[in-house]
């Protein structure tokens, strides 16, 4: 069994720029808030269950105050469009230590699935690290290139029934591969409008639509990831600057 600690996430090259990294951050100082009861949480939280190193008082169900307000707006828009559905929050703020832990865990998991020795440098290991890097931001300590979740601006979420049961979306949150791309089922949905793929594609479109209407920007590789106010949001929305930087253990960096 591979140990996550045997993987060095620095192999992801945290200095390699994402297209949004050149965007400046003008921190506005908004605090992290705990999600209100009106926003459904998917619990138990999977990273906590894995042993991710959240410190005292740290919770994945926290986001910047402006992001919480926008999420509540998205929830209202969703219920106007689909009264039997609700947003279901999978993950919010992620300390840098948790980002590092989850990158290590995901690379180790993919190595195990593909039968690759994570302790030996190889083209296969490099391919896994690169593919994981399409979905997981490197745990860079550089304040100019923070992982989106470390800013309190990014949220991973899905759709659920009114009772909180997650809907099938054609792929699990955090799945590595093309299945996670927002429009993965678009062509199949056109070919067979009555098939399961069409249902999954429709649900992904509904989620993207209500989040976009509330001001969020979607990650280009992940149907579940949306952010508001960070560099990725600024890049996708055409804003000159981001207004949320990384939040460390002691507060804003």
Give me the active site residues, please.
222
Going by their DSSP bridges, the two strands 85-91 and 40-41 should be labelled as: parallel
CA count, 13 A, side-chain hemisphere, 43: 6
The DSSP code for 31 is P
Contact 91, 47 (CB under 8 A): yes
Distance (Å, whole) CA 37 – CA 109: 33
Residues contacting residue 79 through CB under 8 Å, at least 6 positions apart: 85, 86
Residue appearing with tokens 């996670």: 180
Contact 252, 29 (CB under 8 A): yes
Distance (Å, whole) CA 183 – CA 219: 12
Cα–Cα distances (Å) from 65 to 3, 41, 75, 247, in that order, read: 37, 17, 15, 13
Structure tokens of 235? 């890049």
C-alpha angle with apex 65: 80 to 93, nearest 5 degrees? 100
Contact 153, 67 (CB under 8 A): yes
């Amino acid at each position: 069994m591979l140990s996550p600690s045997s993987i060095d996430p620095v192999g992801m090259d945290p200095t390699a720029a994402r297209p949004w990294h050149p965007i400046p951050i003008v921190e506005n100082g908004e605090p992290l808030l705990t999600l209100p009861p009106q926003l459904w949480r998917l619990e138990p939280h999977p990273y906590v269950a894995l042993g991710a190193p959240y410190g005292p008082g740290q919770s994945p169900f926290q986001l910047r105050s402006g992001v919480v307000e926008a999420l509540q707006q998205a929830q209202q828009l969703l219920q106007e469009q689909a009264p039997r559905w609700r947003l279901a929050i999978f993950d919010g703020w992620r300390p840098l230590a948790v980002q590092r832990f989850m990158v290590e865990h995901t690379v180790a998991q993919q190595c195990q699935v593909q039968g690759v020795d994570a302790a030996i440098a190889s083209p296969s290991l490099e391919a896994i690290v690169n593919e994981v890097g399409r979905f997981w931001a490197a745990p860079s300590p550089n304040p100019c290139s923070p992982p989106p979740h470390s800013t309190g601006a990014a949220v991973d979420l899905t759709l659920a029934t009114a009772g909180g049961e997650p809907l099938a979306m054609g792929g699990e949150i955090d799945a590595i591969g093309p299945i996670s791309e927002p429009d993965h089922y678009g062509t199949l949905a056109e070919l067979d409008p009555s098939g399961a793929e069409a249902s999954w594609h429709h649900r992904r479109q509904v989620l993207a639509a209500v989040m976009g209407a509330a001001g969020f920007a979607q990650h280009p590789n992940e149907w579940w990831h949306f952010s508001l106010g960070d560099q990725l949001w600024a890049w996708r929305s055409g804003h000159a600057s981001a207004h949320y930087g990384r939040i460390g253990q002691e507060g804003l960096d």
